[in-house]
Amino acid sequence: MTNDTATLNRASDAGFRSISADTGEPFGEPFAVHGPADVDAACAAAEAAFDAYRSTDRETRAAFLEKIGEEILAIGDELIETAMRESGLPRARLEGERGRTVGQLKMFAGVVRKGGWLGLRIDPALPERQPLPRPDLRLRMIPLGPVAVFGASNFPLAFSTAGGDTASALAAGCPVVVKGHPAHPATGALVAEAIRRAVAASGLPEGVFSHLVGPGNELGSQLVQDPRITAVGFTGSRGGGLALMKLAQAREVPIPVYAEMSSINPVLLMPEALKARGAALGTAFVGSLTMGAGQFCTNPGLLLAIEGEGLDAFVEAAKTALVEAGASTMLTPGIHKAYSESVENLASHAQVETVARGKVGEGVTQGQAAFFSTTAEAFLADKALGHEVFGASSILVRCRNEEELRQVLVAAEGQLTATLHMDAGDAELAARMVPVLERKAGRILANGWPTGVEVTHAMVHGGPFPSTSDGRTTSVGSLAIDRFLRPVSYQNLLPELLPADLRDGAQAGLPRLIDGQLHND
Interface with ligand DO4 includes 453 (CB under 6 A)? yes
Interface with ligand NAD includes 237 (CB under 6 A)? yes
Of residues 348 through 407, those in contact with ligand NAD by CB under 6 A are: 390
Interface with ligand DO4 includes 451 (CB under 6 A)? yes
Instruction: Collect all residues with Cβ–Cβ distance below 8 Å to 428 and sequence separation of at least 6.
Output: none
- Distance separating alpha carbons of residues 274 and 305, to the nearest angstrom: 9
β-pairing, 120-123 vs 137-143, is: antiparallel
227: phi then psi, degrees, rounded to nearest 5: -65, -20
Give the number of residues in contact with ligand NAD, rule: CB under 6 A. 23
The CB-of-443 to ligand NAD minimum distance in angstroms stands at 14
Q: Which of 338, 364, 493, 498 binds ligand NAD (CB under 6 A)?
A: 338
- Name which of ligand DO4, ligand NAD, none residue 451 binds, using a CB cut-off of 5 to 8 Å depending on partner kind: ligand DO4
CB atoms within 10 A of CB 395: 24
Catalytic residue list contains 81: no
Choices 131-139, 272-280, 291-299, 380-388 (CB under 6 A): range interacting with ligand DO4:
291-299
Map residues 401-440 to x or -, x wherever contact with ligand DO4 holds by CB under 6 A.
----------------------------------------
- Name which of ligand DO4, ligand NAD, none residue 124 binds, using a CB cut-off of 5 to 8 Å depending on partner kind: none
Distances (CA, A) of 236 to 131, 202, 205, 347, 422: 55, 32, 30, 25, 32
Instruction: Collect all residues with Cβ–Cβ distance below 8 Å to 290 and sequence separation of at least 6.
Output: 322, 325, 328, 358, 369, 392
β-pairing, 209-212 vs 176-179, is: parallel
- Distance separating alpha carbons of residues 193 and 389, to the nearest angstrom: 34
Q: Which of 66, 71, 97, 260 is catalytic?
A: 260
Interface with ligand NAD includes 233 (CB under 6 A)? no
Catalytic residue list contains 260: yes
Q: Three-state SS for 508?
A: coil
Judge if the upstream peptide bond of residue 143 is cis by omega within 30 degrees of 0. no
- Name which of ligand DO4, ligand NAD, none residue 220 binds, using a CB cut-off of 5 to 8 Å depending on partner kind: ligand NAD
Interface with ligand NAD includes 240 (CB under 6 A)? yes
Interface with ligand DO4 includes 103 (CB under 6 A)? no
Dihedral, CA of residue 136, residue 142, residue 145 and residue 150, to nearest 10:
150
Map residues 292-331 to x or -, x wherever contact with ligand DO4 holds by CB under 6 A.
----xxx---------------------------------
Interface with ligand NAD includes 220 (CB under 6 A)? yes
- Distance separating alpha carbons of residues 251 and 509, to the nearest angstrom: 41
Interface with ligand NAD includes 258 (CB under 6 A)? no
Q: Three-state SS for 171?
A: helix
Helix (H) or strand (E) holding 193: helix 185-201
* Residues at the site binding ligand DO4, with contacts judged by CB under 6 A: 154-155, 296-298, 451-453
* Residues at the site binding ligand NAD, with contacts judged by CB under 6 A: 150, 152-154, 179, 181-182, 217, 220-221, 235-237, 240, 243-244, 260-262, 297, 335, 338, 390
Residues annotated as catalytic are: 260, 297
